[in-house]
Amino acid sequence: MEDAWLATTGRRIIVLIILSVLLMAFGSLGYVIVQDFTLIEALYMTIITLATVGFTEVRPLDESGRIFTMILILMGAGFVAFNLAYFSQLLLDGDLLEIYRRRKLEHQLDKLKNHYIVCGYGQMGQIIVQELQKAGIPLVLIENDDALLLKIREKGIPHLMGDATDEENLAAAGVRRAKGLVSVVSKDTENVFIVLTARDLNKDLMILARSGTPGTDKRLYKAGADRVVSPFAIGAVRIAHNILRPTVTDFVDLALSGEGMELSMEEICIPEGASLDGKELMHSGIRSRYNLIIVAIKRSDGKMIYNPSPRELLKAGDTLIAIGPQENLSRFGADL
């Protein structure tokens, strides 16, 4: 629909431009023949006549020149008025501006790599976008709700207006070049379809999805999701933990959020060629130089080592779960 509208509008604009050029050419040629004006004088007279600005003629007109001017006014005044009305209507309708914004965003997305695509801007989507933006992670949002789109535009979030289940919208959002996709639309059936389509378009994509009803998580995993989150189940477990071990829950919340305390918890990957590769934890200098505590190590094969011993060997590809001041965590990550 949009492409058809754009093609029709484009053809109309091209026709109006051609007619405008022909009209100015007719007026300029007429003044050259009737009044023996130079080309610049004739073009000037044509423009001020069509624009009805009322400037003085470059030279006094004789009777034939006045008759030609009246003919030019009758031919051009209505045409110019129609042009102004047509282009004003395009701008007032907002369709042209919306399509321009979309085309501009598509050009930006063509250059975007290793970003995240968030499908849905409901309660979960808003929090996810906020956290990703806070961490400086590039993202693109896909949403089709008009009320939510107003909020998205006000906040300046890169977005596509459309259905996330549409393969074309996922492709336009750069799913083949994206690092990950988060599907948190309200309907489980749509989440399953989004995951299935995204996995088909990008086999290496990290996909996280929301499960609203029991049993949907299995379908999401079969569709290709890497991680599935059930907000109701997690909420229930968190409430139980707040009853059973409130202090531990408060500490974990504060450590993960990094707000209200000096300590934070982060995961830091050891890259290839890092100085830590092949060193024992006790000789790594992580505690002495950065004042950080390593509470767990995730090996490249997925094996987790909790409360690692000082003799534990660090390897490239390991992910360290560290606790410490946020400034020290940032410095450690930068040094790696």
Query: How many CB atoms neighbour CB 120 within 10 A?
Result: 27
Tens digit of pLDDT for each residue in 199-255? 999 999 999 999 988 889 999 999 999 999 998 888 888 889 889 888 888 877 776
- The answer to whether residue 253 is domain-embedded is no
Regarding whether 223 and 118 lie in a shared domain, the answer is yes
Strands 180-183 and 263-269: unpaired
pTM of the model: 0.65
For residue 61, give the nearest of 53, 51, 69 by alpha carbon.
Answer: 69
Query: How many CB atoms neighbour CB 148 within 10 A?
Result: 17
CATH number at residue 198: 3.40.50.720
pLDDT at residue 81 in the model: 74
Tens digit of pLDDT for each residue in 109-164? 778 889 999 999 999 999 999 999 988 999 999 999 989 988 998 898 988 888 99
pLDDT confidence tier of residue 15, bands split at 50, 70 and 90? confident
268: its two tokens:
């830091």
DSSP reduced 3-state for 300: coil
CA distance 329 to 35: 82
Nearest-10 Cα torsion for 249, 253, 256, 257: -170
Query: How many CB atoms neighbour CB 217 within 10 A?
Result: 20
Tens digit of pLDDT for each residue in 245-290? 888 888 777 766 656 556 788 899 999 988 899 999 999 999 999 9
Are 118 and 51 contacting, i.e. CB atoms less than 8 angstroms apart?
A: no
27: its two tokens:
């007026």
Half-sphere exposure of 311 (CA within 13 A, CB side): 0
Regarding whether 326 and 272 lie in a shared domain, the answer is yes
Q: Give first-to-last CA distance, the chain, whole Å.
A: 50
Regarding whether 151 and 214 lie in a shared domain, the answer is yes
Residue with tokens 């129609």: 82
- The answer to whether residue 68 is domain-embedded is yes
Q: What values do phi and psi take at 303, rounded to 5?
A: -70, 135
Residue with tokens 């003629």: 57
Regarding whether 84 and 16 lie in a shared domain, the answer is yes
CA distance 39 to 58: 12
Are 286 and 292 contacting, i.e. CB atoms less than 8 angstroms apart?
A: yes
The DSSP letter of residue 55 is P
Regarding whether 206 and 133 lie in a shared domain, the answer is yes
Amino acid at 121: Y
Are 140 and 150 contacting, i.e. CB atoms less than 8 angstroms apart?
A: no
CA distance 311 to 53: 87
Q: What domain range is 321 assigned to?
A: 262-335
**Higher local confidence (pLDDT), 64 or 205:** 205
Regarding whether 141 and 68 lie in a shared domain, the answer is no
Residue 62 has pLDDT above 90, yes or no: no
Regarding whether 279 and 215 lie in a shared domain, the answer is no
23: its two tokens:
């009209």
Tens digit of pLDDT for each residue in 310-326? 999 999 999 999 988 88
Number of domains in the chain: 3
- The answer to whether residue 125 is domain-embedded is yes
Regarding whether 298 and 221 lie in a shared domain, the answer is no
Are 221 and 228 contacting, i.e. CB atoms less than 8 angstroms apart?
A: yes
Percent of the chain with pLDDT over 90: 43
pLDDT confidence tier of residue 90, bands split at 50, 70 and 90? low
Regarding whether 66 and 143 lie in a shared domain, the answer is no
Regarding whether 218 and 122 lie in a shared domain, the answer is yes
Regarding whether 226 and 301 lie in a shared domain, the answer is no
Regarding whether 211 and 319 lie in a shared domain, the answer is no
CATH number at residue 291: 3.30.70.1450
Picking from 234, 250, 273, the residue at the C-terminal end of a domain is: 234
For residue 142, give the nearest of 123, 158, 130, 124 by alpha carbon.
Answer: 158
For residue 173, give the nearest of 115, 129, 122 by alpha carbon.
Answer: 115
pLDDT at residue 206 in the model: 96
